[in-house]
Amino acid sequence: MAIAVTRPQARAAFMNRSRWMGILLLIVGLLMFLLFGRGLEPGQEATFGLNPGKDSQAIAIPDLTLPVQPALYALIMLTLFLGGWQLARGFRSAGAVLGIASFFFVTAFLTWAARGKSFNLVGMLSSSLVRATPIALAGLCGVVCERCAVINIAIEGMMLTSAQAAVVVATLTRNLYLGLLAAMLTGAILSAVHAVLSIRFRVDQIVSGTAINIFGAGATSFISARFLEKNVDLLNNSGTFPVVSIPLLSKIPILGPIFFENGIIVYLMFILVVVVHIVLFYTPWGLRTRAVGEHPRAADTLGINVFLTRYVNVIAAGMIAGIGGAYFTIGSVGRFDEIMTAGKGFIGLAAMIFGKWNPFGTFASSLIFGFADSLQIKLQILRVPIPSEFLLMAPYLVTMIVLAGVVGRAIPPAADGQPYVKE
């Protein structure tokens, strides 16, 4: 339900969206000057490491060294120029301008934070991708569900439960792939419950999702307290997927260590992004799915089985969430801790909305969240004088700003969240 905000006509003519954006950019530029531009010692340099570490197969290249003061002034001037141009003439794509300005801001911030020090850029970008993986998988799960009009806020609970299932099965069988399979199965089962509740029983989908989230948190904590804590080596110590380097590609400097030296779950995520995109937009099944999501009655009239489409999609989405859950245990630390997903499922939903219900968009926005996540850890190491708690808030604040529609309005599938009643 849209709430139309009607502005007076005269004001709308001059102060339109584009001009507001220009003012915003000018403020960002000013902020950059106030925050980073003052009190710099001339001649200071910031070193950005471009080689991840000893283990990497990438060809070593020299590190990037920037003179801090000129670099910062250049970035500030560029941002102010963008803002001025946007105010006066307006760029065609406001989103792109905002993206460039954010890039300038982040670069300026990193240069400022790394002044007089060395900062491993490639290492941070690589960990951004790893941290983005569960968010992207959660977002994909959301895309697959919501394209057929089933809202799924249970992703958090599904990931938490499958994370536990993965580590327990992997530890018991000493086989990580069986653990991954168990995680997918667990995700599918919980998703099937959500599907039955919201399709067959037409339960409010958000309530059903909340119930699954509470169940996930309760059940995993219960099992943890009752079994895992006492038998850590027997049940909760699986080891993790090894890093797989893709031959040749991993030798490319910068890109190689970021994209081609990862665990299997990261590669699975890449594959799934592409597969979901192709299935949604280039196959009959995808067309049906989207039809069911936009106008189920019309789809039904054309002979598409609305219920079957929804069941299949929601359960498949649960498997994707299961892979995302497996990342937390067998993909990264090799053991289960209570409530270890820490809201990543919800951030995945935000990534989905930010990505406008498209697989690639979802992936791109999850990268932003992953970047924010890994940035705050790196900044703690650099001892930036900001309390770490505030840096930890950043991803959540970004989510809220994104949801408030800074980058244009996100439009969900038309029938999203409505149960279908066959006539």
Q: Which residues bind another protein (CB under 8 A)?
A: 1-3, 5, 151, 153, 197, 201, 203-204, 206-208, 210-215, 217-219, 221-223, 225-227, 343, 346, 349-350, 353, 387, 389-390, 392-393, 396-397, 399-400, 403-405, 409-412, 416-418
Nearer to another protein, 110 or 151 (CB): 151
| Encoded tokens for 265 | 């779950």
Length of the chain: 423
Q: Whole-angstrom Cα distance, residue 417 to residue 153?
A: 11
Q: Whole-angstrom Cα distance, residue 294 to residue 288?
A: 10
Nearer to another protein, 53 or 343 (CB): 343
User: Measured from the CB of residue 97, what is the shortest distance to another protein in angstroms?
Assistant: 20
Q: Whole-angstrom Cα distance, residue 376 to residue 27?
A: 23
User: Measured from the CB of residue 178, what is the shortest distance to another protein in angstroms?
Assistant: 22
User: Measured from the CB of residue 82, what is the shortest distance to another protein in angstroms?
Assistant: 24
Q: Whole-angstrom Cα distance, residue 305 to residue 140?
A: 23
Nearer to another protein, 4 or 88 (CB): 4
Q: Which DSSP category does 118 fall into?
A: E
φ/ψ of residue 6, rounded to 5: -95, 125
Residue at 155: amino acid letter:
I
User: Measured from the CB of residue 2, what is the shortest distance to another protein in angstroms?
Assistant: 6
Q: Whole-angstrom Cα distance, residue 215 to residue 217?
A: 6
- Is 234:168 a contact under the CB 8 Å cutoff? no
Nearer to another protein, 256 or 348 (CB): 348
- Cα-atom radius of gyration of the chain, to the nearest Å? 23
Nearer to another protein, 278 or 411 (CB): 411
Nearer to another protein, 77 or 192 (CB): 192
User: Measured from the CB of residue 144, what is the shortest distance to another protein in angstroms?
Assistant: 16
Phi-psi region of 383 (alpha: psi -120 to 50; beta: other; left: phi over 0): left
Q: Cβ atoms within 10 A of the Cβ of 298, count?
A: 11
User: Measured from the CB of residue 368, what is the shortest distance to another protein in angstroms?
Assistant: 15
Nearer to another protein, 250 or 374 (CB): 374
Nearer to another protein, 278 or 403 (CB): 403
Q: Whole-angstrom Cα distance, residue 80 to residue 59?
A: 38
Closest among 329, 341, 386, 331 to 129, alpha carbons compared: 331
User: Measured from the CB of residue 208, what is the shortest distance to another protein in angstroms?
Assistant: 6
Rounded to the nearest 5 percent, the helix, strand and coil shares of the chain are 70, 5, 30
Q: Which DSSP category does 3 fall into?
A: -
User: Measured from the CB of residue 291, what is the shortest distance to another protein in angstroms?
Assistant: 18
User: Measured from the CB of residue 154, what is the shortest distance to another protein in angstroms?
Assistant: 11
Q: Which DSSP category does 116 fall into?
A: T
Burial 264-280 (b: 16+ CB within 10 A, else e): bbbbbbeebbeebbebb
- Is 200:216 a contact under the CB 8 Å cutoff? no
- Is 319:187 a contact under the CB 8 Å cutoff? yes
Q: Whole-angstrom Cα distance, residue 296 to residue 317?
A: 19
User: Measured from the CB of residue 269, what is the shortest distance to another protein in angstroms?
Assistant: 22
Q: Which helix (H) or strand (E) is 46 found in, with range?
A: strand 45-49
Q: Which helix (H) or strand (E) is 64 found in, with range?
A: strand 64-67
Nearer to another protein, 49 or 417 (CB): 417
User: Measured from the CB of residue 421, what is the shortest distance to another protein in angstroms?
Assistant: 10
CA end-to-end span of the chain: 25
Nearer to another protein, 72 or 306 (CB): 306
Nearer to another protein, 266 or 351 (CB): 351
